[in-house]
Amino acid sequence: MPTISIDQDLIASLLGKHGIKNDIARMSDELPLLGTDIDECNEHTLDIEIFPDRPDLLSGETLTRAMRPFLYGQQAKPTLDIKKGSIKMNVDPSLEHIRPIVMGAVVRNVNTGATPEENEAFIKALMDHQEKLHFALGRGRKRASIGVHDLATLAPPFTVTTAPGSTQFIPLAMNEPMSIDSILTNHPKGIDYAHLLEGMKSYPVIMDSNDAVLSFPPIINGNHTTVTSSTKDFFIDVTGWDPRACEASLMLIASQLEERGGVVESVEITAYDGTVSDLPKAQPQTHTVTERLLNGLLGRALTDEEIHTAMNRMGGSYLGRASAENAPSRTPENMADVVDGDTVLSFLMPHWRFDILHPIDLVEDVAIGHGYEDLGTDVPRAPMTALPRSDGHIRRRIRDSLQGLGLMQIQSLTLSNDTDQFGAMRWPAMGEVTRITNPITIDHTLLRQYLLPGLFRLLASNRHHDLPQAVYELGTVVRDHTNSDRFAFLVAEQNGGFAAVRGRIQAIMRDLGASGYSIEPLGGDMGPWLAGRAAKVLVDGIHVGCFGEMDPHVGHHYELKVPLSGAEFDVKELERALPDPV
């Protein structure tokens, strides 16, 4: 989960403008329900983990905006106060197949702080918010990318067009002009994001009326537009492929600046297809959900007053309920699946609430805003007697053996990544890898094929504790899109070696009732094993697992500098090789 660090004085100042005194104890108790968790708190700084489904809380300003109605009962404000502006931005038709979504906004008279230190902290927080939105909403700038500029250095109106790779301008943090081709191969940001423009012969650029390049999205801004301590008026551009992600990103940056006293102005956008619109939109979005769905999931009927209070806490507004005679099926506009005779509840929610994708999200908001303590109770409608797992006995015997050896059972995430599973561990992929289409974090991009990487991660997080440390996991892996069970253990001890881990394996095989097994040297250089200090276990010729000392290079990848030994076994192969004595 992304973590933000917020200055306590900033929170107190933003709340104080609305007559609210900061209450850290209350924040610690209630903020987790809103989608956050306080990780660390001291007299100066508050470190807060933000749940991935609430990208609208990724800055101190937008978080404080959400806190006011949630914690202190103030009237929610599901919209921005947007003044019609005079600045225009025209999008060339050539952008249709290059980067079609273009949006913009202006925020004037922003209070960026009274001292150089406060100015610096503001700029850092703004850039940090921008990068977190690039990851959370923009999916690494592919769906949406954000540019923030000092409006005083620009000459509106703006034109978004395409340019050849030979086009030159001075990019951010540089002193000399560079061509677009050179930026993509030599500039750090160009190297990081060049893949987003791979195969293109012309590139998107935003230019002002003086033909100065103020942005080369989604790569880098022009150096002359850099936000400084003297910047008070801001121009925000957002480009990409996903209209919702672009709109939410634009409104969240504008909201951050508005919280600091800024006045938001719309920008007239002429899109690549000729349509004209003023952005960002001032009106909140209307969502509906049926009373049948709400009451059915919550277990009790809520009064209009209770729903109004609940949705106000979540930053929205309850419009009331109405009959849905001859109502249409669910559409993207009303979101609710309704039938004749249903009662429909309507809500106004902010456009920047990117997490509201389905009526169930509204039900969740009502539940969180109301509180879980007095919702209805229910019992299973179809009670059934469970059937035992076919591998239940072998799993129980494995757990008993490993715990008898003094190992502590852990359970790690099934989600992992290529570096942990294959790169650091030097293991090949077994069949096809099951990957996540839209991963929330770069650490969770696929379903694991091995258990040992999770154990390495655990010991790495606990390396400040005393040795020895001995852990195991009995869990599910996914290979070739099929679930299978494995168990693994990892031991960190000063005097551990091959003899120690071999003794543990012999004890495990004894406990499992294996008599006709053999231990053979493990050839090759695959896996985390130290060469010449690893072996495989065969039961009646069936390869059931491997064990040995860990190569120090693998341990160093996880900042583990102590002797490590471990093993990983296939439960299905053990079950096939060892008959169940029960």
pLDDT per position as a tens digit, 456-507: 999 998 888 888 999 999 999 999 999 999 999 999 998 878 999 999 999 9
Both tokens of 84, joined, read 């019609």
Q: Per the domain annotation, does 400 fall within a domain?
A: yes
pLDDT tens for residues 78-121?
999 999 999 999 999 999 999 999 999 999 999 999 899 999 99
| The total number of structural domains that make up the chain | 4
Judgement on whether residues 330 and 215 belong to the same structural domain of the protein: no
Q: Per the domain annotation, does 399 fall within a domain?
A: yes
Judgement on whether residues 274 and 299 belong to the same structural domain of the protein: no
Provide the 8-state DSSP code for 298: H
**Which residues does residue 335 pair with via DSSP β-bridges, in sequence order?**
none
Tell me what percent of the residues of the chain surpass a pLDDT of 70. 97
CATH number of the domain that residue 233 is part of: 3.50.40.10
Q: So what's the pLDDT on residue 582?
A: 62
Spatial neighbors of 195 by CB under 8 A, at least 6 apart, are: none
Cα dihedral value 424, 425, 431, 437, nearest 10: -40
Q: How far lies 335's CA from each of 300, 373, 493, in Å?
A: 22, 28, 57
Judgement on whether residues 321 and 338 belong to the same structural domain of the protein: yes
Spatial neighbors of 103 by CB under 8 A, at least 6 apart, are: 237, 238, 239, 246, 247, 250, 267, 269, 279, 280
Alpha carbon 109 to its chain centroid, in Å, reads 32
Q: So what's the pLDDT on residue 302?
A: 93
Judgement on whether residues 224 and 128 belong to the same structural domain of the protein: yes
Judgement on whether residues 65 and 87 belong to the same structural domain of the protein: no
Judgement on whether residues 493 and 419 belong to the same structural domain of the protein: yes
Residue 291 phi, psi (nearest 5): -60, -35
Domain boundary pick from 255, 279, 303:
279
Q: So what's the pLDDT on residue 120?
A: 94
Q: Per the domain annotation, does 15 fall within a domain?
A: yes
Q: Indicate yes or no: pTM above 0.75.
A: no
pLDDT tens for residues 131-160?
999 999 998 999 999 999 999 999 999 999
Burial of 11 (0-12, 13-18, 19+ CB in 10 A): buried
Mean pLDDT for the chain?
90
CATH number of the domain that residue 68 is part of: 3.30.56.10
pLDDT tens for residues 427-442?
999 999 999 987 878 8
Domain boundary pick from 72, 103, 126:
72
Q: Per the domain annotation, does 582 fall within a domain?
A: no
Q: So what's the pLDDT on residue 336?
A: 52
Q: Per the domain annotation, does 384 fall within a domain?
A: no
Q: Per the domain annotation, does 217 fall within a domain?
A: yes
Q: How far lies 368's CA from each of 57, 70, 313, 536, in Å?
A: 16, 10, 9, 52
Provide the 8-state DSSP code for 540: T
Judgement on whether residues 359 and 452 belong to the same structural domain of the protein: no
Smallest Cα–Cα separation from 278: which of 287, 288, 268? 268
C-alpha span between 453 and 132 (Å, rounded) = 27
- Mean pLDDT calculated for residue range 210-231: 95
Domain boundary pick from 47, 72, 97:
72
Judgement on whether residues 407 and 364 belong to the same structural domain of the protein: no
C-alpha span between 122 and 504 (Å, rounded) = 56
Judgement on whether residues 251 and 312 belong to the same structural domain of the protein: no
Domain carrying residue 365: 285-370
Helix or strand run (H / E) with residue 91: strand 88-91
Judgement on whether residues 233 and 307 belong to the same structural domain of the protein: no
Q: So what's the pLDDT on residue 581?
A: 64
Smallest Cα–Cα separation from 52: which of 1, 106, 13? 1
Q: Per the domain annotation, does 173 fall within a domain?
A: yes
Both tokens of 427, joined, read 């293991």
Judgement on whether residues 440 and 534 belong to the same structural domain of the protein: yes
Q: Per the domain annotation, does 190 fall within a domain?
A: yes
C-alpha span between 162 and 159 (Å, rounded) = 10
**82-83 and 263-270 as β-strands: parallel, antiparallel, unpaired?**
parallel
pLDDT band at residue 348 using 50, 70 and 90 as cut-offs: very high
Judgement on whether residues 427 and 544 belong to the same structural domain of the protein: yes
| Rg of the chain over all Cα atoms, to the nearest angstrom | 29
